[in-house]
Structure 1
Amino acid sequence: MTLGLDARSLVGNPSGVGNYLRGVLASDAFTYETRGYTATAGEIAFDGPRFTRTVAQPFVLAERALGPAQPIWWLNLTLRRALRHDNVDCYFGPNFLKPARCSLPSVIVVHDLVHRVHPEVHTPLYRWYLRAFLPNSIRTADHILVVSESTKQDLHRLYDVADDRVTVAPPAADDRFTPRSLSENERQRLREAYDLPEEFLLYVGNIEPRKNLSTVVDALRKLPETDRLPLVIVGQHHVPAPELERRLNADWADSLIHRAGYVPDSDLPKLYNMATAFVYPSVYEGFGIPPLEAMQSGTPVITSNRSSLPEVVGDAGVTVDPTDVSAFATAITDVCTDDAFATELRTRGLNRAQRFTWESTGRTVQRTIDAVLEEA
């Protein structure tokens, strides 16, 4: 039995979808012979004994003529033709979509519905792309995997999908996120490389309005100067956030806000280890990997009580209304001034993080595809 999948998210430096696909494929519980299709011959971030990479290149004329619309051609024509040519038995779509008019048994993964809930996050072209093609994929896929109960509820609310067609298969954090003791020399290197203060709060993620960083900045300003910890922001601007920029550029923010920008994978886990606490005030997530990375690193978490985030942290973190500046200020004070409470959160977080493993996710994906094939 051969499983065909869209492997474009593995090309180059994988982001959320690519990391999800890589985690599933690397799981010992996932045992299918798999053919991963890409549109280009660039290096991909996965190689395994049961995985074969196939480059399905579109016609050169089509690529030139279609320009930004080329991915639509590739998914719906080039990929569909390649699946048929290779006699693939089942299609797995890790990035929301399946080829239109693809008659194979199919399972797709819907990671979030940001394009519907917070459309400002995406470009107009990408919003149109998902609005045009996702409904057909949802309607015609034999089964749908989602990364959280929250996304499952969104799918039901926005697309009226029956519960028995949807299964939750959450991601896991990479093994490199773990508690560790850093030497003073290593700490000093990191402080100099990323302009880190001695103690700090940490945020990791894109900088955009739905991430709601303004609440944390306002909470810090609300605190007495003796209780303030600087905020280190790891991430890059994804869409304009003018209200946040106004706050970050204020004179009073100079000593409180440190923008580390992009931090490579080799150093990011160490910043989690150095942080006094991790803050994540997002108003909407499909899952929310950074809080899980923080818990797995042994760092106390303060996050939002919206969308999927309470599912991720459970009782192992402090969850507050992301629009309540006073509540965030109180949570920061509680975690940063009460050593016993912070230690309890670290212990709970490490235990909570153990619930999320790629082996478990791989088993869920495998069982879902097995069931679809049995019914085909």
Structure 2
Amino acid sequence: MNIGINLLRFDPTKNIGGNYTYAFNIVQSLIQNKSNMYYLFLTDRNKEMFAFKADNIKCICLKSKKNIISKIFAENLFIEKQIKHLELEIFFSPCFLLPFRKLKIKSVVTIHDLNFRHFSQGFFKDIYKNILYRLTIRNSSAITTVSEFTKLDLCSFVPGFEGKIKVVYNGCNMTLESFDKSNHDSFERRYSIDYPYFLAISHYEHKNAELAIKAFALSKDKLSEQHQLIITGARHKLKEKLKTIAREEKVEKDIVFIDYVENEYIQSMYYGAKLFLFPSLFEGFGIPVIESMNMGCPVIASNNSSIPEVVGDAGILLDTGDVSQWSRFIIELSSNNDKMTSLREKGFLRASMFNWNESAIELMKIFKEVLDNKKKEQKIG
């Protein structure tokens, strides 16, 4: 099979979150199948983000454009031209939507969430996404979502296409077995961490790190020892907003803001945390939850969107409208080793259910199914 993979829209200068984690790992797992040839559609700016070494891949690069309109049209024309030139059979878009016009070959797209339906990203961006998502849903041969929640959200958004939507869960490649524990001391020195800490992330506003700060402030003086709260990913205006909240709650000296955690320290970040606080207001999946569980860090998370589906019974699920409840569980778990141990064990078991190689196998089944349907259509025609 000749498979084209659309990685054009990744930008190394912007927040690298769950979409990149998915794309990198799913491509890395797909190319283990040596019976296929994979053509990676990249730009001169992002090609180092997908520097795989394998005989069955070829990188097709497009020169980056700064103007967003020029960029979109250049990508559309580039994809159509390369599909014909390379004689591709399947075009897979792991994170971004399909070109405006329906492709002349079979296409599969992964839709992670419909965040823009629930939290505005700006008037024009909302309109653009609304149109493009509808076109993609109609024009694609098959759609995968990363959770049942996103599948239901998609079916509600554009009814009538349920038959071509399948759930393929995300995976996780972090494990305690692959972790060098000697790296953890270096992590704490690197980021000036002096006490036991709780962890929260805040790449975007809907991650709701504000609640983590307020719950920490309520808990701080009731804990048996001094703790810090580590917040990663917050930058620019969001970081300043969170710092203001920390000052108002009188915990600014107990919070460490880390703009960006280098790859070599991500496992250490989870490994050392006493609890992972994940009060997100919306998730299509929630990869950090699984990463935390795999590194033995118990999870307290919100009970909305896809999060209960991913966490199962392996974490504490709470309403984001009740800060006192979050504080109560932070205090209770921090002083109860038996409950912490139980959550760790459940977390390891739950996280083992999410595997990138299994995800790639399921995705390959969908590719083959789509091509088989094409052959049936040709016979009928």
Structures share a fold, TM > 0.5? yes
1:232/1:300 Cα in 2 relative to 1: closer, same or farther (>3 Å)? same
Alignment partners' CA distance in 2, 1:259 and 1:117: 27
Alignment partners' CA distance in 2, 1:190 and 1:56: 37
1:161/1:326 Cα in 2 relative to 1: closer, same or farther (>3 Å)? farther
Deviations 1:164-219 (A, max 9, x none): 22111121123366585735xx55433332121321101134141x1112222222
How do 1:84-123 and structure 2 match up within 5 A? 84-101=84-101, 102-120=103-121
Amino acid at match of 2:217: R
Q: Which runs of 5+ in 2 are unaligned?
A: 375-381
Alignment partners' CA distance in 2, 1:179 and 1:198: 25
Alignment partners' CA distance in 2, 1:226 and 1:88: 61
Root-mean-square deviation (CA), in Å? 2.5
Partner of residue 199, structure 2: 202
Please tell me whether residue 305 in structure 1 is matched to residue 303 in structure 2: yes
Please tell me whether residue 54 in structure 1 is matched to residue 60 in structure 2: yes
Partner of residue 218, structure 2: 222
Residue 43 of structure 1: how far off its partner (Å): 2.6
1:94/1:177 Cα in 2 relative to 1: closer, same or farther (>3 Å)? farther
Partner of residue 229, structure 2: 231
Alignment partners' CA distance in 2, 1:176 and 1:125: 41
1:181/1:7 Cα in 2 relative to 1: closer, same or farther (>3 Å)? closer
Native 8 Å contact 1:31 1:366 kept in 2? no
- Pairs aligned (count): 365
Partner of residue 38, structure 1: 42
Deviations 1:300-346 (A, max 9, x none): 11111111111221111111111211211122122211100000101
Question: Which secondary structure state, in structure 2, belongs to the residue aligned with residue 112 of structure 1?
Answer: coil
Partner of residue 283, structure 1: 281
Amino acid at match of 1:79: I
Stretch of structure 1 that moved more, 236-245 or 260-269:
236-245
Alignment partners' CA distance in 1, 2:56 and 2:176: 27
Residue 251 of structure 1: how far off its partner (Å): 6.4
Q: Which runs of 5+ in 1 are unaligned?
A: none
1:290/1:31 Cα in 2 relative to 1: closer, same or farther (>3 Å)? farther
Amino acid at match of 1:24: I
Q: Percent identity?
A: 25
Alignment partners' CA distance in 2, 1:299 and 1:179: 16
Native 8 Å contact 1:57 1:78 kept in 2? no
Native 8 Å contact 1:75 1:98 kept in 2? no
Partner of residue 212, structure 1: 208
Stretch of structure 1 that moved more, 80-89 or 279-288:
80-89
Question: Which secondary structure state, in structure 2, belongs to the residue aligned with residue 360 of structure 1?
Answer: helix
Stretch of structure 1 that moved more, 220-229 or 287-296:
220-229
Native 8 Å contact 2:9 2:96 kept in 1? no
1:31/1:151 Cα in 2 relative to 1: closer, same or farther (>3 Å)? farther
Partner of residue 5, structure 1: 5
Q: Which one of 267, 270, 285 corresponds to residue 268 of structure 2?
A: 270
Runs of 4+ in 1 over 6 A off after TM superposition: none
Partner of residue 127, structure 1: 126
Partner of residue 169, structure 1: 168
Alignment partners' CA distance in 2, 1:350 and 1:68: 43
1:273/1:110 Cα in 2 relative to 1: closer, same or farther (>3 Å)? same
Native 8 Å contact 2:195 2:228 kept in 1? no
Deviations 1:32-53 (A, max 9, x none): 3211112336434242232111
